[in-house]
Each structure stands twice: as C-alpha cells, then as structure tokens.
Structure 1
Amino acid sequence: MTTQERGATYTEVFASREFRVLFGSFTLLVAGDQVKMLALSALVYARTGSPGLSAAAYMVGFLPYIVGGTFLLSLADRIRPRALMVAGELLRVVTCVLLAFAGLPVWAMLVLVLATGLFSPVFGAARSALLPDLLPGDAFVLARSVLNVTSAGAQIGGLAAGGAILALAGPEGALAVTAGLSVLAALVLRFGLPDFPARNAGVDDAGGEGAVRETLRVNRALLADRRVRGLLLAQWLPISLVVGAEAMMVPYLGNTAGLALAAASVGLAAGNFVVGRFVSPTGRERLAFPFAVVSGLPLLAFAARPGLAGAALIVLLATAASTACQLGLQRWFVDAVPEPVRGQAFGLASAGMMTGQAVGGALAGAAAELTSPHTAIVLVGAATVLCSLVLHRSLRGAGARPA
C-alpha cells in the first residue's frame, strides 16, 4: 500500500522541520490574536463604558478580510513567504504597542486595527500556499487538519489565558503580552524557515500590473474557472451556513449559549482529527459530498426545540461534518489552481470563508427577526442541504484537474 493510499501520519508531517516552524508560529499567532482582541474590547469598554463599542472592538479584526481579500492578495505570490510572514508579526507588534501605550482615542484604535487587518489575508495566504510545497500529497491535507485543530485549541486557550492576563495586568499588559508573542513568532519564522523564493516574482520587473490590479484580475480569473469556482463555493457555503446557525445560540439558549459554542469548537477539532487521521485520502474525498449534506441535517432537529444538551450535540455534529467536508476538498483545490497564483487562491478561499461566515450569521439573524431563533436554525439547515445538493459536482470532484 502506498503512502497516498494509506494516508499520511502525524509522524511524517511533524518530521518536516519547516512545518514544525509554521506550526509553532501559527499557534502563537492564533493565541495572541485572541488575547489582543479581548484586551482591545476591554480597553474600549474601560474608556467608554459602552457595551456596543466593546463588542464592535472585539469583532473589528475580522472585518478587513473582504477588503484585503479583494485588493491585496497578489502580494502573497509576489513577496518571499518568510519575509511576508515576519512582516505580519512585526506589524502586529507595532499595532499592539500603539494600542496599549500611545493614548489613542477609541476611534483611532478601531481605525488602526482595521487598517493593519487589511493585510491579514495576505499573511495567511502565504502560510497556506507554502504547505503543499513542504508536504505534498496527503501530508498537506493532514497538515491542514493539524492547523485547524490547533486553531480551535489556541482560540480557546487564548481566550482563557487572555482573561487571566487581563485580571492580572489589565488591557495594556495583555496587549504587551501579545506583542511579545508576536516578537517570538517573528524570531521563530526568521531563523527557522528557509527563505523560499516568491512564487510569482518578477511581475513588476516585466512591466506588469500593480498589486491591486493584479489581485482583481487573478480573482476574476479564478472565479471564471468553473472548476475553481465550484470548489470555492463548496468551501464557502456549507460551513458558512453552519456558522450562521451557531450565531443563533445566544438568542436561542441565552446565558448557557457558551456551552453550545464550546461544543462547536470540539466538533471542529474532532472532525479534523478523526477524518484527517483515520480516513484514507480517497475516502475523505469520496465522503466530501455526504459530509456536506450531513452538516445541515442535524440542524433540522431544532424544529423540536431541544434543550442545552441536545443543542450542543447537534451543533457539535454539524460542525464536525462541515469541517470534515473541507478536508476532502483540499487536494482537488491545490490541483485545480495554477501554481504561480496558489497563494492568492488560498487567500481568496480564506477571505471568502470569513466573509461568508459573517453573511451567514447576518442571514440567520434576519430570519430569526422574521420568525424565531429555532426556526431560523431549521431554515439554515435546510439551506445547507440544498446548497450541498446544488454543488454536488464540485463536492464529488467533478472536473478537478488530476493530481
């Protein structure tokens, strides 16, 4: 049995020194971001006493993805990945120091986070595009699974650590800790990762387009390609709708919603770990379509108005299935996109997913306003199943370029 048939193992993935560097820096990044946004929210609340502004401060770091993903993603292929990722960490250091110690008014703090966040999709795209080069074939898919599990764990750990740091050192101290984590991540990347060349270097030397124009052109080309467009929609829609259902947990469960949302994080980690580790590469791809459909089916059970335990189990199952579906699409996506613009393609997938999740939450909220929270979740579940059926060709790999 070949490695591709049996699937990669964690031992093989972590045997790559370069992946260990990316794994360590990514863990620091996710945990640090959770601490930063929590500290910013606390700082804004301390200065204004406004719960609304505090909530806006916590969410503002996610908003720039649509702008950065639309206009700046070509930088992920035009700049050497190590330099780009180190620059991202240093930019985070400067942002945290200014937020903590510059005495900025609240509006200036929010503008600063928005402006620096425009480049977040670019930094993430550089990391994602590097993985298939370091770990080809199924090892790449398992590496993505590892980072997804790490993201879920680091988010929970970062929030827990952030709360403790806030209690001990206040918002300014928590932001200083985040800056320190970013300095550490920058050092890990600078001295642990080889200086790989830019994937699409020499564009400017050839008299080509600027970064914004090229980003728009390549995004149009990727979306015009039927195979790529189908795989992007398959990555965006089912999981975005499931996240939209999760957004209804607070109005549905009230103060106990945190337990159901924690169950969603468990589902994310479980789906990645179980399917990534114990299902063969061809099995994951064969199951992508059933998992997409199954991700919507449990949500229909909200028609029976389950209690906390039932709601948590439903959300766990839906999240695990939608996450497992994503793993089955990864090799097809790498094979379908042109290698010189792989960074931008991964960035577009990530930016679209972030945007889609925000839209999914907004649509679920609008449905709840017209009906009720539990009815909105049922409608989202039905929409997830319908979208999966419409996208069945892409979810079955039809038209994907052979590996």
Structure 2
Amino acid sequence: MRTRRLLGRHRRALQRQATYGEVIAIREFRALWYAQGLSLLGDQLAQVALAVLVYDRTRSPLATAAVYALTYLPTILGGPLLASLADRFARRGVMMTCDLLRAALVGVMALPGVPFPLLCGLVFLVVLLSAPFSAARAALLPEVLEGDRYVVGSALQNMTNQGIQMLGFAAGGAMIATIGPYRALALDAITFLGSALILVIRVRPRPAAAREGARGSMWAMTRAGARLVFGDRKLRTLVLFAWLCGFYILPEGIAVPYAAKLSTGTLSLPVVTGLLMAAMPTGTAVGAFFFSRFVTPPRRLRMMGWMAMLSCLPLVVTALRPPLAVVLAAWFLSGVGGAYQLAANAAFVQCVPADQRGQAFGLVQSGLMAVQGIGILIGGFAAERLGPEPVVALAGVIGVTAAAVLAILWSESRVETPARA
C-alpha cells in the first residue's frame, strides 16, 4: 500500500503544472540558465565578427560561407561520438572543461594575424566541443528540474535563446563596428570563462551517470545509444518529431531570395529579410510561453501531433504568392506550432534512462543539425530553379504529411510512462 501511495504521489507530481516563478527560484537552474545565455550571447557576436573578419581577409563570399558551414559540420560528424562523454564523466565537469577549452581556442582566434587555415581549424574545434557540452547540459537539466518544471524550464530557456539570437544579430554589427572583430572574439572567450565560473560556483558536483562497470569505449556507448534511441518505437517516433523541424526551418534559409520578391520602394531588401527571419522565432517564443503556461502536461502530449502539423501547414499558403503581411502571419503561426517540441522533449526525457541521456541527446542534436543543414541546402538548390514561393509551399505540404503520419504513430504508441531515475 505504501508503495502504491508513493507511486500515486509521484504520478501527480509529474502531471502537476509548474510555474515560471518556482522554476526560476531553483538556484541550479538559474546557474544553467545564466551560463547558457551568457555563452550564447557571446557566440552570436562571434558569428558576426567571424563573418566580417573572414570576408575582410579574403574578399571571398565562398570562403565566408565555407567558414559558416563549419558551424554545422563538426556537430554532425563528431557529436554522436563525443556526446558519450556526458555519460562517462561528471556532467558539470564536462561542461566546465569544454568552456575552458573553448575560451582558450577563441582566445587564439582573437589574436591578429592568425593564418586563415588555422582559423578554420580553430572554428572546427570550438564547434566540436559544443557537442559534449550541450549533451551534458541537456542530460543534467532533468536532474535539476523534475516533472513539469522541466517543461517550463525548457520553455523559459527556449524563449531566452530566441531573444538572445535576435538581440545578438541585431546589435552585433553595430558593436563590431565600434570595437572591431578581434575584440569581439576576445569578448566571446570571456563569456566562456564566465560560464565556467557560474557552473563551478552555482552547480553542485554529481558523480558520473554511467556506472563504472557499464562504461565501455566511446564507440560501444555510441552504438548502445543508437540502439536505445532507434530500437524503441516510442523513442523513435519522438526523435522523428524533433527532426521534423527540417521542413519548417527551411524558409529561413531562403529568406533573402524570398524577401527580394516582396521588397518594395518603401521596404528595402534588408528590412524585409529581417522581418521574415524574425517572424518564426517570435512565433516560437510566443507558442512556447502559452503552451507551457496554459496547457496541462497530459494535454500537451495529446496536442503534440496537431501542433506539429500546425508548424508546417501555414507554409502552404505561400503557393498563392500572398503579400508580405500574410507571409509574416503564416511564418509566425508556423513558429507557434513549433512549440510542440517542448512536449516531445519532455516525453523523450521520461523514456531515456538517466545514465544514457547524454548519448541520447547527442544523437538527437546531431540529427537536428543534419536535417536543418540538408533541408536548407535542398531548399536553396530548388529555389534557384523554381523560385522561393513554391519551395516553401512544397516544404509545408511534405512536412504536414509527415507530421500527420507521426501523429498517428504517436497516438498508437503513447502509453503512460513514468519518469526514470
């Protein structure tokens, strides 16, 4: 009887709707939140600085694009392997080590006169280290936030990330014009040091998640993680829900040619491009707030399939070549639908054992980077031949079809699954 009462209490705790106030009151969450925000703000500034620096040195759009492509490649190639470090070693230690190493590497990038090939190599290594850091952080967050607090905390971080990205890109150009690209890179290095300091002061140490006897080689742990994620029907469906973003992120990759079709004498190309690129992140932030604040945890799981379809369906309207206001509204609604990722993420956490969360999150994150990069590449290739409007509409049609199939699979596989310790 006592065990049954405890299980019932645990189930009610998982289904109770948390508030932003109680999540922010948790000291360790605030530390992770501040550290991530600080580091992300520095990264946004560094991306603009790096693009300016490379173009200033080479005067080559291809070289500038190639360096930007390096921000995708390392995570796709090395992410699944290095993510196992988040399970082999203490997660706070993994995060701090990655922060310190990235601070050193970016510090070298900030030195004037670094040869271009070495600069590319440093960019590759900095991005590569983000894989174990992100995996460790994603695996640590469910230990800090239990039940619905995890969803609310994820929503809060999602909204913060969207705001920082918009702020970083908007203010980055003006700041770099004032302090120069080298000082901007040095500032990014300082943000990594600040992140490490916050972690060591505010996050308590925990032992490694993987048991000593269960630790194999990184290859063995990667294979075990892949079997776990893709061998279970429910987890496989949740991963595919996450990767669905490749369809509704595609429009952002061709926002400039789309803006060229919509710009007028009163609205210049840069202004229209900025409006288009801001529409979807704004919708995502709004959707995340309302979805986490006003929808109960069980209802989120039931709504997940419908929200996933909403993330792609509004894009179909672009086939009619509507005016800018309609396009902005459609992209905003698409962003609102993308809030379903909160429910998918929470369900994924409940189904993955604690000692394999780092590896599982690393695999999903690498896939996310791959589908986004591939989707944008295909979209750009198709837009050159068909124009941006039909390509965005086609992405919406294929995406909503895939979302409908996943919704059916999810309704068939969904069962009550208690969170695993």
1:129-208 to structure 2, matched below 5 A, reads 129-202=139-212, 208=215
Q: Which residue of 1 aligns with 2:44?
A: 34
Contact 1:288 1:396 in 2 (8 A): no
Letter in 1 for 2:350: D
Q: Which residue of 2 aligns with 1:373?
A: 388
Contact 1:37 1:61 in 2 (8 A): no
**Structure 1 residue 3: deviation in Å?**
5.6
Contact 2:80 2:359 in 1 (8 A): no
Letter in 2 for 1:332: A
Q: Which residue of 2 aligns with 1:303?
A: 319
Contact 2:237 2:406 in 1 (8 A): yes
Partners of 1:350 and 1:393 lie apart in 2 by 24
The alignment's C-alpha RMSD in Å is: 1.9
Partners of 2:302 and 2:256 lie apart in 1 by 35
Farther off after superposition, 13-22 or 221-230: 221-230
1:276-291 to structure 2, matched below 5 A, reads 276-291=292-307
Farther off after superposition, 177-186 or 16-25: 177-186
Contact 2:112 2:182 in 1 (8 A): no
Farther off after superposition, 296-305 or 329-338: 329-338
Contact 1:246 1:315 in 2 (8 A): no
**Structure 1 residue 214: deviation in Å?**
2.1
Q: Which residue of 1 aligns with 2:4?
A: none
Partners of 1:328 and 1:393 lie apart in 2 by 16
Partners of 2:388 and 2:347 lie apart in 1 by 36
Q: Can you list the C-alpha shifts for 1:337-392, whole angstroms capped at 9, x where unaligned?
A: 22210111122222211211112212222332442211111110001111112212
Unaligned runs of 5+ in 1: none
**Structure 1 residue 30: deviation in Å?**
1.0
Partners of 1:251 and 1:168 lie apart in 2 by 30
Aligned residue for 1:7, secondary structure, equals coil
Partners of 2:328 and 2:132 lie apart in 1 by 34
Q: Which residue of 1 aligns with 2:242?
A: 235
Choose from 221, 225, 228 the match for 1:221.
Answer: 228
Q: Can you list the C-alpha shifts for 1:216-263, whole angstroms capped at 9, x where unaligned?
A: 3322332122221111011112x2200012222211112222211111
Say whether 1:62 aligns with 2:72.
Answer: yes
**Structure 1 residue 69: deviation in Å?**
2.2
Q: Are the structure 2 counterparts of residues 134 and 202 from structure 1 closer, same or farther at C-alpha, using a change threshold of 3 Å? A: same
Contact 2:13 2:147 in 1 (8 A): no
**Structure 1 residue 325: deviation in Å?**
1.2
Aligned residue for 2:206, secondary structure, equals coil
1:332-371 to structure 2, matched below 5 A, reads 332-371=347-386
1:260-271 to structure 2, matched below 5 A, reads 260-271=276-287
TM-score by length of 2: 0.90
Partners of 1:244 and 1:223 lie apart in 2 by 25
Contact 2:14 2:146 in 1 (8 A): no
Aligned residue for 1:298, secondary structure, equals helix
Contact 2:304 2:344 in 1 (8 A): yes
Letter in 1 for 2:78: G
Q: Can you list the C-alpha shifts for 1:73-109, whole angstroms capped at 9, x where unaligned?
A: 1111111111111112112211211111162211221
Q: Can you list the C-alpha shifts for 1:258-295, whole angstroms capped at 9, x where unaligned?
A: 21111112112111111111211112111101111122
Q: Are the structure 2 counterparts of residues 260 and 377 from structure 1 closer, same or farther at C-alpha, using a change threshold of 3 Å? A: same
Choose from 306, 320, 327 the match for 2:342.
Answer: 327
Say whether 1:94 aligns with 2:110.
Answer: no
Partners of 2:126 and 2:34 lie apart in 1 by 23
Q: Can you list the C-alpha shifts for 1:301-358, whole angstroms capped at 9, x where unaligned?
A: 0011122222111111112102x21122223211222221011112222221121111
Contact 1:71 1:216 in 2 (8 A): no
**Structure 1 residue 400: deviation in Å?**
5.0
Letter in 2 for 1:365: G
**Structure 1 residue 20: deviation in Å?**
0.4
Contact 1:240 1:353 in 2 (8 A): yes
Percent sequence identity over matched residues? 38
Contact 2:233 2:413 in 1 (8 A): no
Unaligned runs of 5+ in 2: 1-8, 261-268
Aligned residue for 2:369, secondary structure, equals helix
